[in-house]
Structure 1
Amino acid sequence: MAHRLPLRNRTGIQRPKNLDENATSKPRQTVGTNLPGGTRSGFPGANSFKSTGVQRPALGEVAVNRKNSKVKFNKDKAPEVGQKRTRSFSVADGPQRVPLAAKPTAPGRTAVTGRVFTQPEPTTLPLEGVVHLNGLDDDMDVEEMHSTKRDSIDDVVTAHDEELENMIDEQDRAEVAENLVPTEEAEAIVYLWPEVSPNHAAKYQREVEEVCTRFDAEDEEYDAAMCSEYAEEIFDYMSDLQDAIMPTPNYMDAQNEITWGMRQTLVDWLLQVHLRYHMLPETLWITVNIVDRFLSHRTVSLDKLQLVGVTAMFIASKYEEILAPSVDEFVFMTEKGYLKEEILKGERIILQTLEFNISHYCSPYSWMRKISHADDYDIQTRTLSKFLTEVTLLDHSFLRVKPSMIAAVGMYTARRMLSGDWNDAFVFYSGYTEEQLEPGYNLLVDKITEPGFDKLYLYRKYAHKKFLKAAVYALEKAREQVNQGEGMVLA
């Protein structure tokens, strides 16, 4: 008979094994265990290999042999998954500990997730207001941009209109005329989704208001989970908060050594740690938000990237978890690649940089719970939408999208893959029309159908039967859309 390992070797209150509300044995609705079109075969666990050395009794380990790793990583090619070894008597199908990086063992090379990263040539970018974080002796003060001030009041010269006219000669007038942009060209501004023109924004607002006027939501009064007495004020407050905690979408332009591919590797590794320690869903979203906001203000070297991720999760777990992992456990996650003192100092630097604004972030799950009221909390739609929203964590294109819209995009994509419609109920509870969410659907399909996506840990996580094999179903549907050529061009 198989034996189950304990979560951690500690006394007192233990964290429940399954905190995901979809991973329950008694769902609210009676449904099958698989999404439509999914297979019923169990999720393949890791192969068992013999391991040597002292094993940590509280965790089924997945280690990577860094010395034999020959995989190189650069800006054009993503790293491959390292070799795994697990205990033969472990029955856990869940994620295992995979160290992302250790300290460099040779000059110019850093091991991350058992992969070797080639140190790129640093480039100098003339960006202001960016502070470099390259070591422990880094100053925790953030440089500020200084504005130019006048030396004295005498520098201000007042001139009449006639004098100004006389100061501009004919050559200056010709240069000014050449630089003037016609009104028609000035109005033809290219908006990057989710930004839209004022006319389109007014159109979407009118459509949502019309739906809210004719939609009957009286049944909310009998739903205690919706907290109807205060729901409107709560979500208005959350909408104001999400504007203040958005990272800079193109912050990677200010980084000299890291790339978007390295960020994806880091986030995918954080997903493993998050599920292995059975943390709450909000902890993962806060962690990634801390990483992106910190990298928007500070330039980080390659060998400190994992330190930022581990420290961000250490901070987020303090805000959300009832029983947060200790700093020693985070040191263990990296196979002692970083010292306890490094994580604690990184915590101080991150908190000072973000001015302790951590709990202001509201994950998309808050809005997803509200939107799920439109289909009576259908378990298949909600599980599939959770997978799709976590896909946005890997895609940097969604850094400019607010959490409320990410939740709406995930629900809309899930409904579309399950052959459902986006009716008035979904518009009422989400606040977004189908036309607004169409570009987000296209981005998600493109991300899921990328080569090598099924090798990521996020895919393997949601390919498990506990999550109704949502990843398998979503990949199958996304490939059908690509083959049919439907909706692959962004609006």
Structure 2
Amino acid sequence: MTSLMLIQTTMIHNFALHLLVISTDIYIAETKKRPSTDFMEKIQKDINASMRSILIDWLVEVAEEYHLVPDTLYLTVNYIDRYLSGNEINRQRLQLLGVSCMLIAAKYEEICAPQVEEFCYITDNTYFMDEVLQMEADVLKYLKYEMTAPTVKCFMRRFIRAAQGSDEVPALQLEFLASYVAEISLLEYSLLCYAPSLIAASAIFLAKFILQPAKRPWNATLDHYTLYKPSDISDCVKALHRLFCTSSGNNLPAIREKYSQHKYKFVAKKYCPASIPAEYFQDAGN
């Protein structure tokens, strides 16, 4: 082997190790930036999971109105849940918390974030500018200005590339369908028990199953890139499957209507089989 070839091989090896370190770091970071899974029971007295769902459904509409990137929505929900994990709030201020968290997330993610006046306007001027700014300050202080957080969307970008490695299913349909599944998970307080990376992997599993019910959704490539085996994501996939099957009948339509549009290939209208074969959750070699 020539010196040049040796250098190139070493560089490729080091780059691969660097990618592995990045991957490991993001899994560690997600555990540090996750909200409590029981704040409704232990911290909150005047709000409940249903109110949280209604708020997030409305924030989806706000994000669509202002053409915000998906990361802004996911970060907004992360900030809301982390704040509620340690601060009791009354129902009259829940929407204020929502717009303030979206203001912070938009400043973090958007090239041109909406101004604070626009967030006041979107609430029919229920809150004044100084109230939004004060809540923004309270959230930033409580979160100790730690605004970077690995969300489902962060993991989805990596995982979807691995899932699109073959030409068996249309790439855009898979991406949009997995995104729809991941987004409806934001509404469910009960799903906070699952890590963002686990929800991302489960959303891709379910999307692949819906598009090709007769074929095993998981493979060695997804094992490698997600670090999850089918048995690891079984419970979460089943929870998302129930959510998908009942989404057409709930009274929170924003996400469903969003993904029922032509630009998202009407993925919210996809038929989903009533059950997932148990063998699809068996790990390779079992």
TM-score by length of 1: 0.50
Give the CA deviation at 1:228. Answer: 5.1
Aligned to 1:264: 53
Partner of 1:413: 206
8 Å contact kept, 1:453–1:459: no
Q: Tell me, yes or no, if the aligned pair for 2:74 and 2:151 is still in contact at 8 Å.
A: yes
CA distance in 2, matches of 1:372, 1:446: 22
Q: Do residues 437 (structure 1) and 233 (structure 2) align?
A: yes
Question: Unpaired segments of 5 or more residues in structure 1?
Answer: 1-217, 222-226
Q: Counterpart of 2:21 in structure 1: which amino acid?
A: E
Distance in 1 between residues matched to 2:84 and 2:251, nearest whole Å? 27
In structure 2, the partner of 1:456 is 253
2:195 to 375, 379, 402: 402
Residue 372 (structure 1) aligns with: 160
Which aligned pairs between 1:49-448 and structure 2 lie closer than 5 A? 230-253=18-41, 254-359=43-148, 361-374=149-162, 375-376=164-165, 378-419=171-212, 420-421=215-216, 422-448=218-244
Secondary structure of the residue that 2:88 maps to in structure 1? strand
Distance, in Å, in 2 between the alignment partners of 1:450 and 1:368 is 23
Give, in whole Å, the separation in 2 of the partners of 1:455 and 1:343.
Answer: 25
| Contact 1:459-1:471 within 8 A present in 2 as well | yes
Normalized per residue, which structure has more helix? 2
Shift of 1:239: 1.3
Contact 2:54 2:252 in 1 (8 A): no
Listed as ranges, the gaps of 5+ residues in structure 2 are 1-8, 279-286
State the Cα deviation string for residues 241-291 of structure 1 (Å, max 9, x = none): 111111111100121111101100000000011111111111111100000
Classify the secondary structure of the residue corresponding to 1:355: coil
**Cα distance per residue 1:350-373 (max 9 Å; x no partner):** 1111111111x0122222222223
Q: Deviations over 1:106-144 (max 9, x none)?
A: xxxxxxxxxxxxxxxxxxxxxxxxxxxxxxxxxxxxxxx
Q: How many residues align?
A: 257
Q: Specify the code of the residue in structure 2 equivalent to 1:442.
A: K
Structure 1 residues 454, 344: CA separation in 2 closer, same or farther (over 3 Å shift)? closer
Give, in whole Å, the separation in 1 of the partners of 2:210 and 2:251.
18
Task: Using the TM superposition, give the Cα deviation of residue 311 of structure 1 relative to its aligned residue in structure 2, in angstroms.
Answer: 0.3
Give CA deviations for 1:151-175 in whole Å, capped at 9, x if unaligned.
xxxxxxxxxxxxxxxxxxxxxxxxx
Work out whether 1:470 is the aligned partner of 2:260: no
Q: Is the 8 A contact 2:33 2:150 kept in 1?
A: no
Tell me how far apart the structure 2 counterparts of residues 380 and 327 of structure 1 sit (CA, whole Å): 35
- Which whole-Å deviations, capped at 9, do the CAs of 1:404-439 have from their partners, x for residues lacking one? 111101111111112242111111111111111111
Q: Secondary structure at the match of 1:481?
A: coil
Q: Distance in 2 between matches of 1:386 and 1:456?
A: 16
Partner residue of 1:207? none
Q: Is the 8 A contact 1:247 1:400 kept in 2?
A: no
Q: Distance in 2 between matches of 1:333 and 1:454?
A: 21
Counterparts of 2:231 and 2:28, CA distance in 1: 23
Q: Give how far 1:324 is off.
A: 0.6
Per-residue deviation at 1:486? 6.1
Moved over 6 A (4+): none
Contact kept, 8 Å, 1:454 with 1:460, in 2: the verdict is no
Question: RMSD across aligned C-alpha pairs, in angstroms?
Answer: 2.1
Q: Residues of 1 paired with 2:230 and 2:68: CA distance?
A: 33
Show the 5 A alignment for 1:24-35. Answer: none
Change in 2 beyond 3 A, CA 1:251/1:455: closer
Distance 1:246 1:448, change over 3 A: same
Amino-acid identity (%): 30
Q: CA deviation at 1:229?
A: 6.8
Distance in structure 2 (CA, Å) of the matches to 1:255 and 1:229: 44
Partner SS, residue 146 of structure 2: coil
Residues 373-424 of structure 1 show CA distances to partners (whole Å, capped at 9, x for unaligned) of 3333822211110111111101112212111111101111111112242111
Distance across 2 between alignment mates of 1:365 and 1:234: 16
Q: Is the 8 A contact 1:246 1:400 kept in 2?
A: no
Give per-residue Cα distances to partners, 1:192-234, cap 9 Å, x unaligned: xxxxxxxxxxxxxxxxxxxxxxxxxx9xx7xxxxx85732222
AA aligned to 1:244 is K
C-alpha distance in 1 between matches for 2:260 and 2:104: 29
Cα distance in 2 between the residues matched to 1:430 and 1:237:
13
Report the TM-score when normalising by structure 2.
Answer: 0.84
- Report the secondary structure of 2:145's partner residue: coil
Q: Distance in 1 between matches of 2:98 and 2:64?
A: 15
